[in-house]
Amino acid sequence: MSLLELDDLSVTYRIAAGEVPAVRGVSLALAPGEALGVVGESGSGKSTLALALLRLLPRDALVSGRILLGGEDVLTMNWGRLRAVRWAEASIVFQGAQHALNPVQRIGDQIAEPLLVHRLASPARSRSRVAELLEQVGLPAWRSRSYPHELSGGQRQRVMIAMALACEPRLIIADEPTTALDLMVQAQVLTLIRELVASQEISLLMISHDLSVLADLCDRLAVMYAGRVVETGPSKGEFSHPYSRALAAAFPTVGDPTSRLAPQGLPGDPPDPMELPTGCTFHPRCPVALDTCSAVSIDLRRVDERRTAACVLVGEDAC
Ligand SMILES: Nc1ncnc2c1ncn2[C@@H]1O[C@H](COP(=O)(O)OP(=O)(O)OP(=O)(O)O)[C@@H](O)[C@H]1O
């Protein structure tokens, strides 16, 4: 059974100018222990998707579909159950999350908080658990007595990861967890996440605009464009959808310095969600679009055993 299953998930923000359809009919599944990457350009709906998973969206956002976590629908569970699920069953690490640390509370107390709130450890046991967690994320135990300003950005992000791990959740959602860090520290934190996920039975849903980072870290990728998933498949292997292919060409491969020599930019800009093109929303930027693409939008369909794509040019029924 899947640990996480999204079924036709849609999110629409309501703003003064009208409605912003940020996520449109996304269906995805994540197996226990699997690492799934969600990639797409800015504005494709990745963060909205991440926030929806733990019902962290603004109250007036319209959400429909189902989000099944261990078979239970997050969208319909009551507040008590939702509080129990956050941290303990699924936790989230945001971009620049280190700024979320309380500046006047010691690191150790902040890491212990979810353990105490969820009554998963006594105050005495929580102290030894904090030391364990700090060690897991590569920080010495004495750091538990430090205040956030005494740590570097990379160390603070490690603290956030320790907090996310504290209650031993089955799922970690990481939304651009290293974007605010410099390149060297980014690589260290990504290696840490990879090691933690590999050594424990944790599922990872990792969000990034950087395909090369995700390809390196995840088993499978879902490519988002204008609020929809346009391709899913193994992270190693050739993409099928023209958007995924363009995205792959735009990013150098991690660990392959020669590929940095010729990254091609992706032409044009993603559409405004309030003025989506007709048919396939990628057609105005697509190098291989047919006349029909401005009129016809198709759902994800099978390309091979492990890959699906939403393009009239690929799959068994390709034009
Ligand atoms: N609170 C909000 N109110 C209204 N519109 C929003 C809100 N948050 C996001 N949006 C809009 O929803 C769309 C999807 O945004 P989202 O942040 O989910 O995309 P993203 O892929 O995560 O982008 P980025 O990588 O830049 O964070 C965008 O058009 C964005 O402007």
Residue 262 has pLDDT above 60, yes or no: no
Return the DSSP state at 163: H
Query: What is the interface pTM, i.e. ipTM, of the complex?
Result: 0.96
CA–centroid distance, 180 to ligand 1, in Å, is: 18
Alpha helices in 70-210 (DSSP H): 79-85, 107-117, 123-136, 153-166, 183-199
What's the pLDDT tens digit per position in 141-168? Answer: 999 999 999 998 888 988 988 888 888 8
The band of 252, judged by pLDDT with boundaries at 50, 70 and 90, is: low
Residue 255 has pLDDT above 60, yes or no: no
Residue 130 has pLDDT above 70, yes or no: yes
CA–centroid distance, 245 to ligand 1, in Å, is: 23
* 52 contacts 254 by C-beta, under 8 angstroms: no
The closest-lying atom of ligand 1 relative to the alpha carbon of residue 95 is 27
Nearest CA residue ID for atom 29, ligand 1: 43
Query: Cα Rg for the chain, rounded, in angstroms?
Result: 20
Helix (H, G, I), strand (E, B) or coil at 285: helix
The CA distance from 204 to 222, in Å, is 13
Nearest CA residue ID for atom 6, ligand 1: 13
What's the pLDDT tens digit per position in 176-235? Answer: 888 777 777 788 888 888 888 887 788 999 999 888 889 888 999 999 999 999 999 999
pLDDT of residue 257: 44
Chain centroid, CA 4 distance in Å: 13
Structural domains for the chain: 4-309 (3.40.50.300)
In short, whether 158's Cβ falls inside 6 Å of ligand 1 is no
How does 141-179 read in b/e, with b if 16+ C-beta sit within 10 Å? eebbebebeebebbbbbbbbbbbbbbbebbbbbbbbbbe
